[in-house]
A and B are shown apart, each in its own frame.
Chain A
Amino acid sequence: MLVEAGHFALALALGLSLIQFLVPLWGARANDPVLMAVAPTSALAVFACIAFSFLALTFAYLNSDFSVLNVVQNSHSAKPLIYKISGVWGNHEGSMLLWVLILALFGAVVALSRNSVPMRLQANTLAVQAAVTIAFLLFILTTSNPFTRVVPAAVEGQDLNPLLQDPGLAIHPPLLYIGYVGFSISFAFACAALIDGRIDAVWARIVRPWTLGAWAFLTLGIAMGSYWAYYELGWGGWWFWDPVENASLMPWLAGTALMHSTVVMEKRDALKVWTILLAILTFSLSLLGTFLVRSGVLTSVHSFAVDPERGTFILGILILFIGGSLALFAWRAPMLKQGGLFAPVSREGALVVNNLFLATACATVFIGTLYPLALEVLTGEKISVGAPFFNFTFLPLIVPLLLLLPLGQTLAWKRGNFLGTAQRLYAVFGISLLATIVMFAFTYGGPVAAPLGVGLGLYLVLGSINEIVTRSWSKGTPLAVAWRKARGLPRSAWGTSIAHAGVGLTVIGIAATAWGVEAIGSLKPGERLKGGDYEVRLERVIPRVEANYREEAALLTVFGSGREVGTVETMKRLYLTRGMPTTEAGILTVGLGQVYASIGDAQPDGSVGVRLYHKPLVLLIWIGSLVMAIGGGISLTDRRLRIGAPVPAKTMPPHAVPAE
């Protein structure tokens, strides 16, 4: 019954979205406040309906209701509770439901921020948002209904794909979707501005927190996915330039550019048209990512079921929204008032350079990801564009950007002084260069890229610290005063510096992978395998039986320079319901590096294959991403950006902003 109610609520949400789409749009045109006021109310109702629907599906999973096809295909009564919950979005239908749930949630938040958003802008934004919701609700209801029943009900479910039975992957989709879908708000605001034909700094101030928030979540989502691939797939790689990964990287790059261009727009009332275009492109790339991943065009762990009908439908949505919004842009953008002018050497000039490099880098990823698909459609030739292509094209575009980053961050607004700015960074540059040379000397004969990359990362971290220090301390200032000054800096300044330091940490982690070592061997109990400074000894192989799988666990003792440093366990599992084997890597964290072992097949002579890696500083890749997201979060708490805050003090109702 509840399942049918969930299905009905979804259909009801579709009807309400139609109202949310048509009425406010008409209201904004006719300048009728009553009609415009329908937008927030209907947005809240849509959210309530979709949330109910989502809860109904979750309930079916928790109760292992095997009369629902979706539950039968993706759950099992013996599955641990957390995977019963994550199983809701661990499949095509449920993940699309999560997608619209987050979409509706953001719509509801926009609806609630009525104090800060002008009424007409809010009405138009929610109408655009409703259009996206309608498209995806139609998609779910017509091609991917999660509430389909099976008659007769199954006795037991077919279990969730074992690769997805992992805490990391339980939270990866929600994080990623909050990021993807968060950009839909920037998109809706951009379209609303185009419909209205008006855009100003207030617009940028409203849109910026959304972009920042979406970006921070997308960063976390990508990092989580990368860490999952690293420890779950057992190959020890953290990024494969796989099309599915690129599908999330492209909106991230465009979103990063958008986040920076809205700053220029807010502060200097410039780059308006470009910012609007970026907002449209960022969400278009999110949609493209959804299409690539969900349509079955690509084969990967993400394409749950290959169904041409679905692919065609999402392609239709893609064409409608990307084509529609770009057409709207082409039609209305020339009517927008041109923005201000600025000097090339200035903070805003630097941010333009940032946008230029990020957009170009995003374009190369786009070409590399879609070229094979296009070529196959056109000529039938199958090619693979792999890591070499992306390393060759992406790195030369990103490295100059990173080199310029500390400079741009230090430049003043309006009219910067290049030499003066460079002077403030002499020390940072000198220390990084010295560190690079020292690392070269110590690892002479090793990979050249590693010390260069680590030096670059160090330069970024020090540059960020330098930014905070020079803004709060100069020669002769007592430390207490400097500390007070530093604390008094705007949160957005802290956020920027922290996020940029995070970029540096990630760069260090990535560069240090070149120092990693790998060894492969067949071991019998008692035998050792050496990889670089570390060595493992196979103790024994233990067979185990758990609720939903059976495994052979290899217990390895890890030695570092002759001393025992710990033990790791790596498992070969067989999930019984699906008959699917997986490998669980054994990982020992030593400082910021990791010793990583994975088990291979057992040999007839009683030995097992073991692959051993030592990866120095590898954790910095994900720690850096986390720091980036934290930086974004801190920036979000800046007084100016707080949702509900940017109302001029005179007209502000006394309860709107809590005192600090």
Chain B
Amino acid sequence: MTRKQRRLTLIGVAGCVLAVALGLVLYAMNDTIVFFNSPADIQAKSVQPGTRIRLGGLVKEGSVHRGADQQITFEVMDAEAVIKVNYKGLLPDLFREGQGIVAEGILESPSAFRADSVLAKHDENYMPREVADALKKQGHWQGEANAAPKTQ
């Protein structure tokens, strides 16, 4: 093979692999991406039941109910709306009433959500960033005073 042919082979093969990769990425972007929503967003955007979303907000005080075999229900709220969450499993260590969480799962109806994972913050200073931003937007954020700069 001449130099030119070899180079063309290489470019051809590389082009094919890149095209396949691009196709996969574009397809996956449509199909596997999960949007973050606060309870208010779900109402405002009227998210369709059956959609997979990440739901973030505060766990309503007194709403956590533990059923048999780790069947847990609680309510996630923000300033404007409340959504009931069903979850079977162990809650994370830092799950508390009145604090921010992010749950991923399927929206079953405009006011009910079935979670397959529940995340709470990793340490005591941290509110899930999405939740903090959503609350800030609604003017209900009071965390700034506690989250004073740590150094200097």
Which residues of A are found within 8 Å of B36, using beta-carbon distances? 382-384
User: Contact: B10 with A307, CB < 8 Å?
Assistant: no
- Chain A residue at minimal CB-CB distance from B130: A382
User: Contact: B123 with A600, CB < 8 Å?
Assistant: no
Proximity string of chain B (69-101) to chain A, C-beta cutoff 8 Å, 1 when within and 0 when not: 110000000000000000011110110000000
User: Contact: B89 with A611, CB < 8 Å?
Assistant: yes
Given the interface contacts A382-B130, A393-B25, A396-B24, does A580 sit within 8 Å of B124 by beta carbon? yes
Which residues of B are found within 8 Å of A420, using beta-carbon distances? none
User: Contact: B21 with A360, CB < 8 Å?
Assistant: yes
What DSSP secondary structure best describes chain A's contact surface?
mixed
Proximity string of chain B (123-152) to chain A, C-beta cutoff 8 Å, 1 when within and 0 when not: 110101110010000000000000001111
User: Contact: B90 with A598, CB < 8 Å?
Assistant: yes
Task: Tell me the smallest distance from the CB of A402 to a CB of chain B, in Å.
Answer: 15
User: Contact: A603 with B24, CB < 8 Å?
Assistant: no
User: Contact: A385 with B33, CB < 8 Å?
Assistant: yes
Rounded to whole angstroms, the CA-CA distance of A600 and B68 in the bound complex is 13
Interface size range of chain A in the complex: 35 or more
Rounded to whole angstroms, the CA-CA distance of A388 and B33 in the bound complex is 8
Given the interface contacts A148-B151, A343-B1, does A521 sit within 8 Å of B70 by beta carbon? yes
Which of B1, B35, B69 meets A521, CB within 8 Å? B69
Which residues of A are found within 8 Å of B129, using beta-carbon distances? 299
User: Contact: B54 with A384, CB < 8 Å?
Assistant: yes
Given the interface contacts A299-B126, A307-B151, A392-B24, does A356 sit within 8 Å of B14 by beta carbon? yes
- B-facing residues in A113-135 (Cβ within 8 Å): none
Proximity string of chain B (8-25) to chain A, C-beta cutoff 8 Å, 1 when within and 0 when not: 011001100110110011
Task: Tell me the smallest distance from the CB of B125 to a CB of chain A, in Å.
Answer: 9
Which of B18, B20, B28 meets A389, CB within 8 Å? B28
Total contacts A-B at CB 8 Å: 131
Which of A144, A148, A581: most chain B Cβ within 10 A? Answer: A581
Rounded to whole angstroms, the CA-CA distance of A583 and B28 in the bound complex is 34
A363 interface residue, CB < 8 Å from B?
A: yes
Which of A300, A361, A583, A611 meets B122, CB within 8 Å? A300
Given the interface contacts A352-B10, A579-B124, does A522 sit within 8 Å of B69 by beta carbon? yes
Given the interface contacts A353-B13, A601-B90, does A363 sit within 8 Å of B32 by beta carbon? no
Which residues of B are found within 8 Å of A305, using beta-carbon distances? 150-151
- B-facing residues in A160-199 (Cβ within 8 Å): 161, 163
Rounded to whole angstroms, the CA-CA distance of A392 and B28 in the bound complex is 7
User: Contact: B21 with A363, CB < 8 Å?
Assistant: yes
User: Contact: A520 with B17, CB < 8 Å?
Assistant: no
Give residues in A with beta carbon < 8 Å to B: 69, 73, 93, 144-145, 148, 161, 163, 234, 299-301, 305, 307, 341-344, 352-353, 356-357, 360-361, 363-364, 367-368, 371, 381-386, 388-389, 392-393, 396-397, 520-522, 572, 578-583, 598-601, 603, 609, 611
Give residues in B with beta carbon < 8 Å to A: 1, 3, 6, 9-10, 13-14, 17-18, 20-21, 24-25, 27-29, 31-36, 54, 66, 68-70, 88-91, 93-94, 104, 121-124, 126, 128-130, 133, 149-152
Q: A382-B36, A386-B104, A393-B24 are in contact. List 10 more A-B contacts (CB 8 A).
A: A161-B123, A301-B123, A360-B17, A360-B21, A364-B21, A383-B33, A393-B28, A520-B90, A522-B70, A609-B90
